[in-house]
Amino acid sequence: KGSGVVQHIQRTRLEQVDTLLVVGSGKGGVGKSTVSVNLAVALAQQGLRVGLLDGDAYGPSIPMMLGVRKRAASKGSEAVLPLAERKELPREKKLQPLVRYGVKIMSVGFFIGEEQAVAPMPDVLGMLIRQLLYSVDWGDLDYLLIDLPPGTSEPQATLCREIHLDGAILVTTPQDIARIDTAKALAMFQQSSVPVLGIMQNMDGFLCPHCGGHVDIFPQSQEVRSVLDVLPVLGRIPLDPAAVVSGDKGHPVIISLPDSPVAQAFVLAGQQL
């Protein structure tokens, strides 16, 4: 009792989900949501059944990136309450996810209110994320991706402890400060025996729209690089102004600019999962 092995066995497995992955980052603003959305669509384009749970209440941008903003899951939204009840709901009581680009989507943003100035307390957010895993009618999925809040605090740690996660993908920029925080996230997953599948290195150089040249923006030190270098790099995504525009308009870059280097990097990353 209390040993790591027992804890591991007690973690709940989601019956209908073949592979449950989390997308995490050490800090905000590195492109975690952009990566989650585009990877989910990349997997769906391979013909896989994919769900995406947006658990980032500090920047619930996924609904906006997918053009489903303000379309709250109206029907049966009372089903997520009470938060403390962590078990599968009967199918008729479950929430219907929205479907966009072949991906089933649910967002904590639908429940906390987009205009709310104060973010929920971390423990409440953690409960909401876990509850949505059980309360949404995901159906049979090949992949369910959870876009985690940034950092390594309560929601992430509790999720690792309570739910069987098949893997984590870490998103970082090449900047030292981001990589130092990413190393903390790596340590959190390793301590919880969650396999870290690899790194998505975002904003990896800038693609100049005028000359097409590649400009490195963020400096890197060897010291920090060595900590993360044990991990495979699933993708290197350049900083591309076009990615911002398409994200803000509700069409992820993999849909709106499929031939761009950014979109191609996501396609390749999806093939490695």
Annotated binding site for ATP: 26-33
- DSSP collapsed to 3 states, the chain: CCCHHHHHHHCECCCCEEEEEEEEECCCCCCHHHHHHHHHHHHHHCCCCEEEEECCCCCCCHHHHCCCCCCCCCCCHHHHCCCCCCCCCCHHHCECCEEECCEEEEECHHHHCCCCCCCCCHHHHHHHHHHHHHHECCCCEEEEEEECCCCCCHHHHHHHHHECCCEEEEEECCCHHHHHHHHHHHHHHHHCCCCEEEEEEEEEEEECCCCCCEECCCCCCHHHHHHHCCCCEEEEEEECHHHHHHHHCCCCHHHHCCCCHHHHHHHHHHHCC
Q: Is the dihedral of CA 120, 51, 133, 228 positive or negative?
A: negative
Q: Enumerate residues 6+ apart whose C-beta is below 8 A from 222.
A: none
Q: Is 244 in the site for ligand ADP (CB under 6 A)?
A: yes
CB of 67 to ligand ADP, least distance (A): 14
Q: Is 201 in the site for ligand ADP (CB under 6 A)?
A: no
| Binding site as annotated, residues | 26-33
Q: Is 160 in the site for ligand ADP (CB under 6 A)?
A: no
Q: Is the dihedral of CA 201, 178, 61, 75 positive or negative?
A: positive
CB of 124 to ligand ADP, least distance (A): 20
- Judged by CB, which is closer to ligand ADP: 192, or 201? 201
CB of 28 to ligand ADP, least distance (A): 4
How many residues belong to the site for ligand ADP (CB under 6 A)?
A: 19
| Segment near ligand ADP (CB under 6 A); pick from 10-18, 22-30, 122-130, 189-197 | 22-30
Q: Is 25 in the site for ligand ADP (CB under 6 A)?
A: yes
At position 54, the amino acid (one-letter code) is D
| Segment near ligand ADP (CB under 6 A); pick from 30-38, 107-115, 124-132, 210-218 | 30-38
- Judged by CB, which is closer to ligand ADP: 81, or 217? 217
Residue from the set 16, 59, 67, 158 that interacts with ligand ADP by CB under 6 A: 59
Distances (CA, A) of 89 to 78, 137, 238: 12, 9, 42
CB of 25 to ligand ADP, least distance (A): 5
- Judged by CB, which is closer to ligand ADP: 61, or 182? 61
Q: Is 273 in the site for ligand ADP (CB under 6 A)?
A: no
CB of 61 to ligand ADP, least distance (A): 5
CB of 74 to ligand ADP, least distance (A): 25
- Judged by CB, which is closer to ligand ADP: 79, or 237? 237
- Judged by CB, which is closer to ligand ADP: 38, or 135? 38
Residues contributing to the site for ligand ADP (CB under 6 A): 25, 28-34, 59, 61, 202-203, 237, 239-240, 243-244, 247, 262
